[in-house]
Chains A and B, each alone.
Chain A
Amino acid sequence: MLESHFRSQLPMLEHHVTPGTPHSWESAFQAYYVELCEYVLRFVGSAEAAQDLVQDLFLRLWDSRGPRDATRLTRPYLYVAARNRALKYLRHRRVVATWIARAACEETPPSDTPEDLCLRGELDDAVQEAIAELPARCRAVFVLRRREQLSYREIATRLGIGLGTVKSQMWRATLRLRARLGPYLARPVISEDRAG
């Protein structure tokens, strides 16, 4: 009896969502909207376009909701569907073929494992150190943008500098961090054995 009890619980663990209900659609939306926008943005480069594409995807899923939701409202399915939409959008807009070929190589980012989180923790110390070593104004601009999520215009007002300076300091910060973090960038963030 105990065994059958556990067995009946298993499907629930595999699918966090109950198929065919508004709730499952809601959970998928809450869980994956942001990461799908991030993913599609890599293809299209415009947040406006990325949001529209992800919105269309969820609308389509809502309109055709039903028994197939158990497979469709899952991370792998959503990523493939989002990718196909992004590529179709690029072709429709007649974006250069070289870019489309490049975008087609975008892989589904792996979901975090405890190892990833641990590696990222180590990396994080190096990143914080690199940010701390930036020249003062450069650091101020970068932190306001990346940590406090202010717009370029808000940063210009806050620091009493021109918009052009904000942009050039952001670029400078990016190049410096890239140079400073070079040794870490060369190493894969995901451990070798998992990648292979």
Chain B
Amino acid sequence: MTEGIEESDLLRFVEGDCSPDEAAAIQAWIASDPRRGERLDEVRTVWRLTGSSTRQWVVAEARIRLLRSRGRHGAQGSTA
């Protein structure tokens, strides 16, 4: 399950560019060696220092998805 995973795949993992299955494989890969966990922490720290967020989250779309799934009620009183 963890075959073919390389250290540089930690980038995709930190940025969240993995499918849930890929993420699970990388989690198992990290868990099998403490040094990989340390490397993960380092990548995360570099990311934290070089930007305010890990990736671009599309808030507006998420909000629309939520409001749609709960009908009109959610749309009331919101102009943002």
B-side contacts of A62, CB under 8 Å: 66, 70, 74
- Counting chain B residues whose Cβ lies within 8 A of the other chain, the interface size class is 35 or more
Nearest residue, chain B, Cβ from A98: B31
Q: Is the CB of B57 within 8 A of A48?
A: no
Residues of chain A touching chain B, judged by Cβ–Cβ distance below 8 Å, are 21-23, 25-26, 29-30, 33-34, 37-38, 41-42, 44-51, 54-55, 58-59, 62-63, 93, 95-96, 98-99, 102, 123, 127, 131, 142, 146-147, 149, 167-168, 170-171, 174, 177-178, 181, 184-185
Q: Is the CB of B50 within 8 A of A41?
A: no
B-side contacts of A146, CB under 8 Å: 47, 50-51
Nearest residue, chain A, Cβ from B63: A29
Interface of A is mostly: helix
Q: Is the CB of B76 within 8 A of A22?
A: yes
**CB contact list, B22-78 vs A, under 8 A:** 22-24, 26-28, 30-32, 37, 42-47, 49-51, 53-57, 59, 62-63, 65-66, 69-70, 73-74, 76-78
Q: Min CB distance, B50 to chain A, in Å?
A: 5
The 5 nearest A-B residue pairs measured at CB: A47-B16, A45-B23, A98-B31, A171-B8, A99-B27
Q: Is the CB of A95 within 8 A of B78?
A: no
Q: Given the interface contacts A45-B13, A102-B31, A146-B51, does A58 sit within 8 Å of B66 by beta carbon?
A: yes
Q: Is the CB of A44 within 8 A of B46?
A: no
Q: Given the interface contacts A59-B66, A98-B31, A170-B11, does A22 sit within 8 Å of B19 by beta carbon?
A: no
Nearest residue, chain B, Cβ from A58: B66
Q: Is the CB of A38 within 8 A of B53?
A: yes
Q: How far is B50's CA from A177's CA once the two chains are assembled, in angstroms?
A: 10
A-side contacts of B78, CB under 8 Å: 22-23, 26
Q: Is the CB of A49 within 8 A of B46?
A: no
Q: Min CB distance, B9 to chain A, in Å?
A: 9
- Residue from B19, B57, B59, B73 with most neighbouring chain A CB atoms (10 Å): B57
24 cross-chain CB contacts under 8 A: A22-B73, A23-B77, A26-B80, A30-B63, A45-B13, A45-B23, A46-B16, A46-B20, A46-B22, A47-B57, A50-B16, A51-B62, A55-B65, A58-B66, A59-B66, A59-B69, A59-B70, A93-B20, A96-B28, A123-B49, A127-B50, A131-B50, A149-B56, A167-B11
